[in-house]
Amino acid sequence: MSAQERPESQAERFANTASAAIGVLMALACLPALLGVVSRVSVYGAIGAWVFYCSVLLLYTSSTLYHALPPGELRRKVRLLDHSAIFILIAGTYTPITLGPLREHGGYWLFGLEWVLAALGIAMKVSGSLRFGKISNVIYLLVAWIGLLWAKPFAIGMAMPGIAWILAGGFFYSGGIVFYAAKHRPYAHFIWHLFVLGGTVCHAVAVFGYSVR
């Protein structure tokens, strides 16, 4: 058995499940605030807020279910959903930004590009074309950071603190991939979850503080 196939201990499984469940609880706790926000913003803002929220909830719910399930066919299928939800979260995070501060600055193009790339990524996951973890990680990073091509529109349409929160979230997610890829190290996946939680919090601040209008 290779290091990459090291079995998950019961303690690790609990830590992974609990850390993902924290994300679910955080999302549910924010629902009343979300309802308050969408009641006083534009249609674009409401759509963006709901898409972001639902993509976050989907990611953490699928991750919680995956880690809680025993090995078997159902767990394998939920893992596919969990991995696909990463693409949805990336596009879902861009949605309120592209429909908000970037809408008049080429945001529609970035919106369309992100969702097309997300759909392609999911299709490749489902078809088995992305079986290799390293390739998947590179594609996740490319889809996530392609927004840098819109650096000028970001600078024009969005306040600098909002941009800083977006970048901070991106660094959390990207830095965590180091631990995500280190499957042979105990609790590496748990640490990855902590980075993801940090990235989500940063992006939530960027979305609800500087994007939803």
Domain contains 3:
no
User: Is 172 inside any structural domain?
Assistant: yes
Residue 140 has a pLDDT of: 93
Is residue 138 within 8 Å of residue 186, measured between CB atoms? no
Residue 150 in domain: yes
Q: What is the pLDDT of residue 183?
A: 83
| Residue 140 covered by a domain | yes
Q: What is the pLDDT of residues 131-150, one digit of tens each?
A: 666 788 899 999 999 999 99
Assign residue 160 the CATH number of its domain.
1.20.1070
Domain range enclosing 181: 8-210
Residue 79 lies in a domain: yes
Q: 183, 8 in Cβ contact below 8 A?
A: no
Q: Which residues does the annotation place in the binding site?
A: 67, 189, 193
- Is the distance from CB of 179 to CB of 4 less than 8 angstroms? no
Tokens of 68: 């809680």
- Enumerate the known binding-site residues for Zn(2+): 67, 189, 193
177 belongs to a structural domain:
yes
pLDDT of residue 1: 27
Q: How many domains, the chain?
A: 1
| Residues of the chain below pLDDT 70 | 1-6, 130-133
Distance of CA 194 to the CA centre of its chain: 13
At CA 115, angle to CA 113 and CA 119, rounded to 5?
115
**What was the pLDDT predicted at 136?**
83
Interval 38-78: pLDDT, tens: 999 999 999 999 999 999 999 999 999 999 999 999 999 99
Which of 29, 84, 83 is CA-nearest to residue 201? 29
Whether residue 159 lies inside any domain: the answer is yes
Residue 2 lies in a domain: no
